Structure 1
Amino acid sequence: MWKILRQIARAGIPSEPAPFATEAGEDGAIVRIREELLDILGQALAIRQVDAGSCNACEMEINALTNPYYNLEGLGIKFVASPRHADMLLVTGPVTRNMETALRRTWEATPEPRLVVALGDCACNGGIFGQSYASCGAVANVVPVDVTVPGCPPPPLEIMRGILAAVRRRR
């Protein structure tokens, strides 16, 4: 045990400090989006994420939004488990026939004024799956969509921009 403690004392803190956000580049865009979201919302935004049949790549990017770099919860935006508590639905993947009824019920359970954001190429236009015997295709074929965020998968910054566009639309 002493050997490990000596090694820790010699090595010190191997991590580097967190980067500071600047007004240039991607960091600046994140800062501007954060400021505008806080100005518009003034309160919390609850999002219900629905996987309608995706490959989970979009979910990984959504998960990245909750890390300290993007800090979505610091903006007052949180993910909720029930559509009855949600202001917005964030839908990923092409809507499979098995998920068609579940997505429609989730949309109906979300209180007005509800927003729907289709996230990723599959949710926007069916992606490589299209419309077939097993897939309804795009989310817009099942429920009305307010904003689409294309990409396979879209990066977290684009997801934040899509959420901001939806919130602007509601305002």
Structure 2
Amino acid sequence: MSKKVSRRQFLTYTLGGTAGFFASTMLFPMVRFAIDPVLKEGGGVGFVEAGLSEKDVTDTPQLIHYDVEAVDGWYEFIEKRTAYVFKNDKGKIVALSPTCKHLGCTVNYNGNPKFKNEFFCPCHFGRYFKDGTNVPGTPPLKPLDEYETKIENGRLLIGPVVKA
């Protein structure tokens, strides 16, 4: 037994299908536009020039400023970054983030005369030893982030954060 489609049902199905087709062709680019940055694979930051030669790095932490080319969705821009760079007791070049792990304030090396040879956060009196580890009993619960470093052609390059 076959069921016949009336003219009215045929017209309803045809117009509904056509409207759905047009709606999907209009919505697809909008949805794609909205979610495209999420689907893009992140361009991990490699090593960048730090503006120092190997001989300029001393055993006293010095604050340096350097630029990183970054991509955020479709936007490409230059991100300004800072790091404390020094040679540790073993002669290895270390680069530490100056951002306190407590509330994100900027730490200073020898920033408080009471705490010599330490990083000090003035926001809540957070303290870190020279190697970046937090002083027990002070607000920060984690050490400062450390960046990868390497030397190429006598110049210091700073890379991504070392994964702990």
- TM more than 0.5: no
TM-score category of the 2 structures, normalised to the smaller one: under 0.3
Q: Which has the higher contact order (CA 8 A, sep 6+)?
A: 1
Q: Please, what TM-score do these two structures have when normalized by structure 1?
A: 0.25
Q: Which has the higher strand share?
A: 2
Q: Please, what TM-score do these two structures have when normalized by structure 2?
A: 0.26
